[in-house]
Chains A and B, each alone.
Chain A
Amino acid sequence: MSEWWTYRLTSFLLFSPRTYYRLLELYNLAIWPAQLAGAAIGIAIIALLIGGRRHHERVIAGLLCACWLWIAWAFLLQRYAQINWVAPWFAAAFALQGLLLLALGVVAERIVFSTPRGAAFWLAIALLAISVVGYPLLAPLAGRSWTTAETFGIAPDPTAIGTIATLVLVRGRIRWLLLFVPLLWCAVAAATLWAMATASG
Chain B
Amino acid sequence: MWNRRQVLRVLGAAGLFAALRPSFAQAEPRAILTRPIPSTGEALPAVGLGSWITFNVGDDPAARDACTEVMRNFVEAGGRMIDSSPMYGSSQDTIGYGLRKAGLTGRVFAADKVWIASGAEGRGQIERSRQKWQVSRFDLLEVHNLLNWQEHLPTLFAMKAAGQVRYAGITTSEGRRHRDVEQIMRSHPIDFVQVTYNPVDREVEERILPLARDRGIAVIANRPFRQGALLRALARQPLPSWSTEIDCTSWAQFVLKFIVSHPVVTCAIPATTSVAHVRENVNAASGRLPDAAMRQRMIAAVERG
Contact = CB atoms under 8 A, between A and B. Distances in A.
A82 interface: yes
Interface residues of B, number: 22
B148 to A, nearest CB: 11
B89 A15 contact: yes
Given A3-B177, A82-B90, A83-B89, A13 B60 contact: no
B184 interface: no
B89 A84 contact: yes
Interface stretch (A16-24, A33-41, A112-120): A16-24
A82 B177 contact: no
A83 B228 contact: no
A184 interface: no
Given A16-B54, A201-B229, A82 B59 contact: yes
A2 B89 contact: no
Given A10-B227, A19-B63, A201-B228, A79 B176 contact: no
Which of B53, B58, B229, B273 has its CB near the most chain A CB atoms (within 10 A)? B58
Nearest to B90: A82
Interface string B46-63: 000000011011111001
Interface in B21-80: 53-54, 56-60, 63
Contact of A14 (B89, B228, B273): B89
Given A3-B176, A83-B58, A13 B63 contact: no
B81 to A, nearest CB: 21
Given A6-B174, A6-B176, A16 B53 contact: yes
Contacts, number: 54
Nearest to A199: B227
Interface residues of A, number: 20
A84 to B, nearest CB: 6
Contact of A13 (B53, B177, B232): B53
A89 interface: no
Contacts of A3: 176-177
Interface of A: 2-3, 6, 10-11, 13-16, 19, 22-23, 26, 79, 82-85, 199, 201
Given A11-B174, A14-B56, 14 more contacts: A2-B177, A6-B176, A14-B53, A15-B57, A15-B89, A16-B54, A16-B56, A19-B60, A23-B60, A26-B60, A85-B87, A199-B53, A199-B228, A201-B228
23 contacts: A3-B176, A3-B177, A6-B176, A10-B227, A11-B174, A13-B53, A14-B56, A14-B87, A14-B88, A14-B89, A16-B56, A19-B60, A22-B60, A22-B63, A23-B60, A79-B58, A82-B59, A82-B90, A83-B56, A83-B57, A83-B89, A83-B90, A84-B89
